[in-house]
Structure 1
């Protein structure tokens, strides 16, 4: 008699058929980030040994020989090496742990000379902190290597959580000891990066001006010179044809002059130089396809560079209003708040402006960042759009006669 399923299994449940395969053991998911953390923890020991030996050998030897002429130079070169090893450690942490810290600015003595370089290298806080990082990494590396290697064969299920916890300590060490010295140094590194953006922007503007001159006014003037030459040849034999050609050349001259005026306005409009932001922005507003209300409330004119950036920022934003916003009205407000020049441009259009879309807004963001400015876009889908820009206020340099030019 066949036994019933209940009598054969009892409280333990149903017995699987004889021909069924056993269930596989449970699997634990290891993502790419976990494997990178495990690799970093295993590399802690060999990298820690290398760094520890280097620090102890070079710094102790240099410190021990300070009574001789080679002691301080040897100590300085050892610290420079610590800085270089710290750069390699930052790159390793960035690739395996995803830690991104600012790169400290390079050693730059204020004057040339070996003694000046020696003094700067000896008091370099980045190098000393890198040396401390390399020194303490060996005992920490011994611990993490042992725990991680053992967990690979003993505590496999909890290894992802263990790796995350141990690597968090490594992330804290990298951020604490291998980043720039302080907020000032981080700010200097940011400004040096922004300087590259300024140089690239200026080079692009020069290429644009050269292209506009070559393809526009220059080509038109060359054609004009040829037409006038032909008119001169026909002047005696066919005065009417010559007069017609001169008349056409006169029209070409007007067009060429207008192109040159537009180009000059794109570089730096004369009205901005002569009359300031109020008049210049009012002129820009008249070229917008929608009515624009301009309000400029400034006690004086800012520095020329700040004034120019403010002008081109508003000009670019009003062009976007004309091209993309589908607005019926727009407003421009400019005022000074403490040591900042504030700009707001808003419209009642459809919204959806996005700085991250790689449009002209991204270029404006980079341009303002280069002078320690701020650019914020609030443009939900359906509108309205509000763009706020801040620039540092710098007083305008006195005019040649010593008088300060005030805003109209």
Structure 2
């Protein structure tokens, strides 16, 4: 790791430690409000309104803790049950939904330990760098000089001055140590929060079922749309040309005896139409499963895409061996769609594709130096990519600030034992 990297990460972790101290204090009043709301439930039904409202604040605070943990490499899944149909903003149904969700009680159980952990680890994150900064700014020197002034009149003791200057290298050591340790302390706090805020095994299974239901519906819709596209392309393209080809050949047969010259022209036209129909069929086949993907694998297929791109595109690939066919296909079409978006919308002068496999995870990144401003909520291309990856438990993130650059990051499990991969490949 370069020097500026660990310094940057350390400074970010120190800033996160300061934020953690501020946020940890908020846990205590939230815990008090929850207990008061729970106690007041039998009293005129005040808790029926107050407790769900307090729970919203607690969940927002817990979500913030999950996001800050993610900053330091600790992923915590949201475990809450989906809101049942017909549940309003207030009332018994909403109260019952909140109070019977085990995640609510796990959040409440985290509030006080989270406050203690946040304060302690936040202070530790700040202590070492602060002590180092104190040494670097030679604060002990001025203390020694002040003592020398008061104890020796106008004579400043040389020993105290030397000790003061020795605090400079000591401060540098403590500052560097603090910046190195700070990210680990932030990660430890994320792991501490995960003990409370992560879903239980039962909740994970419930969330998995919900996710599978959603992605299954998305996959079915995507497959139906793909079939309609193939049918439309066949009907409007190759099929129409083949019908025209048959009519041209039939007309040539009628004219071959009495007007051979016209018949030859019609046959020449038929030959051109057959070539065009063949090209369209090849494009259609490539849209279903490109031959280059079957022959060369993901690496070769993506490099072929880069060569045909109108924008200069580099490929950095570290994907040894072949992946499961469904995974390769999903990754290829996701990269192809991302590069198509670059050519259509980015006004970029350069693009790149990065593909790396780490264990059972395939990480894809497509970026450009264009104008940015891409939005997943506009259009269907990015949303289609996300649905295609979600069918394999994959994820996609987009970074595209106005003015660029645009970076699309995709992660896709590529283990042959992945449940979605097995289902998609037709394994019984």
* Bin of the TM-score, shorter chain as denominator length: 0.5 to 0.7
Aligned-pair CA distance for 1:369: 1.6
Question: Which deviations, in whole Å up to 9, do the C-alpha atoms of 1:339-398 show, x marking residues without a partner?
Answer: 21110001111111111224310111122122111100101000011110000012499x
Instruction: From 402, 413, 422, give the equivalent of 1:381.
Output: 402
CA distance 1:285–1:89, change in 2 (3 Å): closer
1:40-59 matches, cutoff 5 A: none
Confirm or deny that 1:202 pairs with 2:223.
yes
Instruction: From 357, 376, 380, give the equivalent of 1:355.
Output: 376
SS at match of 1:371: coil
Partner of 1:251: 272
Question: Which deviations, in whole Å up to 9, do the C-alpha atoms of 1:98-139 show, x marking residues without a partner?
Answer: 9xxxxxxxxxxxxxxxxxxxxxxxxxxxxxxxxxxxxxx8xx
Confirm or deny that 1:91 pairs with 2:89.
no
Partner of 2:309: 288
1:158-169 matches, cutoff 5 A: none
CA distance 1:177–1:334, change in 2 (3 Å): closer
Q: Unmatched 5+ residue regions in structure 2?
A: 1-43, 49-80, 105-198, 419-428
Query: 1:334, 1:344 within 8 Å by CA — same for their partners in 2?
Result: yes
> How many aligned residue pairs are there?
249
Partner of 2:102: 176
- Inter-partner Cα distance in structure 2 for 1:92 and 1:209: 40
CA distance 1:356–1:41, change in 2 (3 Å): farther
SS at match of 1:247: helix
Confirm or deny that 1:213 pairs with 2:213.
no
1:55-204 matches, cutoff 5 A: 90-93=84-87, 95-97=88-90, 172-176=98-102, 181-204=202-225
CA distance 1:391–1:97, change in 2 (3 Å): farther
Partner of 1:101: none
1:320-331 matches, cutoff 5 A: 320-331=341-352
Aligned-pair CA distance for 1:177: 8.2
Q: Unmatched 5+ residue regions in structure 1?
A: 1-39, 45-86, 99-136, 142-166, 398-408
**RMSD in angstroms over aligned alpha carbons?**
3.1
Query: 1:97, 1:171 within 8 Å by CA — same for their partners in 2?
Result: no
Partner of 1:298: 319
Partner of 1:314: 335
- Inter-partner Cα distance in structure 1 for 2:275 and 2:289: 21
Aligned-pair CA distance for 1:174: 4.1
Question: Which deviations, in whole Å up to 9, do the C-alpha atoms of 1:147-176 show, x marking residues without a partner?
Answer: xxxxxxxxxxxxxxxxxxxx7x65630433
Aligned-pair CA distance for 1:234: 0.7
Confirm or deny that 1:225 pairs with 2:219.
no
Aligned-pair CA distance for 1:338: 2.1
Instruction: From 253, 261, 265, give the equivalent of 2:286.
Output: 265
TM-score by length of 2: 0.54
SS at match of 1:245: helix
Partner of 1:157: none
TM-score by length of 1: 0.56
Query: 2:83, 2:97 within 8 Å by CA — same for their partners in 1?
Result: no
CA distance 1:311–1:396, change in 2 (3 Å): farther
CA distance 1:391–1:248, change in 2 (3 Å): same
Aligned-pair CA distance for 1:189: 1.8
SS at match of 1:237: coil
Partner of 1:18: none
Aligned-pair CA distance for 1:90: 3.3
- Inter-partner Cα distance in structure 2 for 1:396 and 1:255: 42
Name the structure where helix makes up a greater proportion of residues: 2
Larger Rg computed on CA atoms? 1
SS at match of 2:315: strand
Partner of 1:237: 258
Question: Which deviations, in whole Å up to 9, do the C-alpha atoms of 1:176-223 show, x marking residues without a partner?
Answer: 389994212211221122111111111110010001000100001000
CA distance 1:246–1:89, change in 2 (3 Å): closer
CA distance 1:354–1:89, change in 2 (3 Å): closer
Aligned-pair CA distance for 1:285: 1.5
